[in-house]
A = this chain, B = another copy of it.
Amino acid sequence: MKKVKYGLSALGLAIGMAATGVSMSVSAAEPTLSEADFEKAQLHYFQRCAGCHGVLRKGATGKNLEPKNMLKKGQKRLEKIISLGTEGGMNNFDDLFSKKEIANLATFIQMTPPVPPEMSLEQMRSHTKEFVAPKDYPTKPLHGLNWKNFFVVIERDAGTAAIVDGDTKKVIAHIDTGYAVHVIKGTEHHKIDHAKDVGRFWYTIGRDGKVNKIDLWQTPEKMLVAETKMAYDARDIAVSGDGKYVIAGGYWPAHFVIMDAVTLNPLKVVTTRGYNTKGEYVKEARVAAVYTSPNKSEFTVAVKETGQMLQVDYSDLDNLTITSIASSEFLHDGFYDPSGRYFQIAANASNKMVIVDTETGKLEAQIDVDSLPHPGPGANWIDEKCGPVGGTTHLGTGLVSVWGNDPIGHPDNAWKMCYEVETDGAGAFIRTHETSQYVWADQLKHPEPEIQQSVQVFDKKTREIVKTIRVTTEPGKAALHMEFNNDGSEVWVSVWNRKDAKNPTGEIVVYDAKSLKELYRIKGLTTPTGKFNVYNRMNHKT
């Protein structure tokens, strides 16, 4: 065993040091893998485990998986956990990985975590590609379709985005994107900045950090107009109110990158590594989410492991002003209230909704909710008693929590729990529309197929569940994520083909928003996930 250790005497240490130095040790007791198996286990870990546990395995939504803890559990116990999952929220992987792959993963997490490399601005820039020159962009839509009712749909396991015409329900394009795109965002109407051609350009972010730009005015085969890469692992993206900048957040390296929205050329990179709310340094301080403030020239950046909400003023990138608002770990996903002033975000492992006042740049409130809140796109509506409210589903329990979110009009109810609705299963997404009397919640995280394949709908007035809709009955499929069409008359629900994830056997099921009856099934989609109606996303209200 060879040790390289930082001696304490050199640092003039005397008292109160918990850590007695950093050791990099390569122990003879550490299990080993062949180079090929190591590479493969590392890839599997990156694709399926790192999201919750981190590449350095310090833990976040999932537990700490550092060797010191894993060696104690041992090979057999680890294989069992990976195969079957746990009651604590760990998924089973026996349907995705072979026995050998699971054994290798169990060995891999007993070995020292490899540290991925950094990525410089120059390296990012080397990935920037132009497929259509900006001077050749059309001056009006070339396809004669009602593009403002297009749905931009993530096809997760295909690494593509589908463009679906909301009027005809036709899939008009499958566009190459990064791996397992998490979010796609377009320009929105903004209070003070004014993007040209709002809703026309859309930006995808892959799990692999690849950024793609889509022009909805192009003919389908030319819609992909530019590409770059801003990290090795990433989750979210947003466009500035003026449409000039795109921001994307990295999981590794832990940073955000601001790009030219025309060319996608990376302009500025800022690390998010830093101290959590307890004052402990976090190297893997991942950007969980980025958003554009509807009322200010600011991006909102949520740093998962540090619990810091960053308000990033994009009006001067060379002299960049950022307000770091200390809230709670581990920040995940959020949404603005209808006024655009308050940002509501889940600190999921803290079981809190964090509220930021973007007008003052200060923490407004923290609301205790239940296990692992996860609102996805979120939902805002008017409650008869509480006034304006927001709501979230939970990854850890079948519950929708609803809180008042109008501190000016309804100060007594603001940031307090208004009511809760129990659902049959834990879910990831909630959605409504200003014209709808209903709120929809999925139950993606429930282990029973019957519940996982059903979404539940409750009435804004009675606060009661009025319908449970079984979206699919096919084995290995799950229902998730709702989106309304442009006029709020339809609700689109995704059906994941989890067991057959590489083939276009997923679908979107369209329901009548009033009668709640099924209208259409849009076939030929591969693991359709998040979907974004152009008109609704341009005009964020709910």
Interface residues of A (CB under 8 A from B): 2, 4-7, 9-13, 15-19, 21-22, 24, 26, 38-39, 42-43, 45-46, 111-112, 114-124, 126-127, 178-179, 208-210, 232-233, 253, 255, 266, 268-271, 273-275, 278-281, 316, 318-326, 360-363
Contacts and interface: CB of A to CB of B under 8 A. Distances in A.
B322 A324 contact: yes
A257 to B, nearest CB: 9
List 4 tightest A-B contacts by C-beta distance, closest first: A121-B279, A16-B126, A12-B208, A11-B232
Contacts of A16: 123, 126-127
A271 B280 CA distance: 11
A89 B407 CA distance: 63
A54 to B, nearest CB: 14
A33 to B, nearest CB: 11
B271 A11 contact: no
A323 B321 contact: yes
Contacts of A13: 232
Contacts of A271: 271, 273-275, 281
Nearest to A111: B4
A433 to B, nearest CB: 33
Contact of A278 (B5, B39, B121): B121
Contacts of A45: 10
Nearest to A362: B319
Contact of A17 (B5, B6, B123, B275): B123
Nearest to A127: B16
A74 to B, nearest CB: 21
A38 B7 contact: yes
Given A268-B279, A271-B281, 11 more contacts: A6-B42, A16-B126, A118-B280, A120-B280, A122-B278, A122-B279, A255-B281, A270-B275, A318-B325, A319-B324, A321-B361
Number of copies: 2
A116 B53 CA distance: 25
A266 B275 CA distance: 13
Nearest to A112: B4
Contacts of A6: 42, 114-117
A268 B277 CA distance: 9
Contacts of A46: 10-11
A39 B11 CA distance: 11
14 contacts: A6-B42, A6-B116, A10-B43, A12-B208, A12-B232, A16-B127, A17-B123, A18-B122, A22-B115, A120-B278, A124-B279, A320-B324, A321-B361, A322-B322
A41 to B, nearest CB: 9
A82 B70 CA distance: 45
A316 B361 CA distance: 10
A7, A15, A17, A362 — most chain B CB neighbours (10 Å): A7
B11 A116 contact: yes
Contacts of A210: 12
A82 B361 CA distance: 52
A404 B90 CA distance: 65
A539 B16 CA distance: 39
A326 B255 CA distance: 17
Contacts of A11: 46, 116-117, 208, 232-233
Contacts of A15: 126-127
Contact of A321 (B115, B269, B322, B326): B322
A121 B275 contact: yes
A205 B10 CA distance: 17
A342 B255 CA distance: 31
B43 A26 contact: no
A11, A114, A178, A320 — most chain B CB neighbours (10 Å): A11
A144 to B, nearest CB: 37
Contacts of A363: 318-319
A45 to B, nearest CB: 8
